[in-house]
């Protein structure tokens, strides 16, 4: 089993802060800065919002190497 390609959703026990690096919208993945590294990211819950670069977010989990995020 390859840990980097799994589609299993993992929710973190404690949400952690991050910052949007590349715009993210409901149907558009983007990129965030999390723990001093850049990661692909998507919105955790489907809602009609857009997150702009520089905006603070909360990282709530991951699917493979893609982080699941929510706005602060």
How many domains, in total, are found in the chain? 1
| pLDDT tens-digit map of 30-61 | 999 999 999 999 999 877 899 999 999 999 99
Q: Residue 14: inside a domain, yes or no?
A: yes
Residue 2: pLDDT band (50, 70, 90) is: low
Q: Residue 2: inside a domain, yes or no?
A: no
Here the CATH number for the domain that contains residue 43 is: 2.40.50.140
Whose CA is closest to 3, among 69, 63, 53, 68?
63
Q: Residue 4: inside a domain, yes or no?
A: no
What is the chain's mean pLDDT, rounded? 91
pLDDT higher at 1 or 59: 59
pTM, full prediction: 0.88
36 lies in which domain range? 9-71
| pLDDT tops 50 at residue 1 | no
Q: Residue 1: inside a domain, yes or no?
A: no
């Amino acid at each position: 089993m390859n840990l980097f390609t799994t589609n299993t959703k993992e929710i973190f026990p404690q949400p952690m802060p991050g910052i949007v690096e590349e715009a993210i919208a409901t149907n558009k993945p983007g990129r965030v800065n999390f723990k001093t590294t850049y990661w692909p990211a998507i919105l955790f819950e489907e809602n009609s919002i857009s997150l702009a670069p520089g905006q603070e977010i909360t990282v709530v989990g991951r699917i493979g190497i893609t982080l699941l995020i929510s706005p602060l």
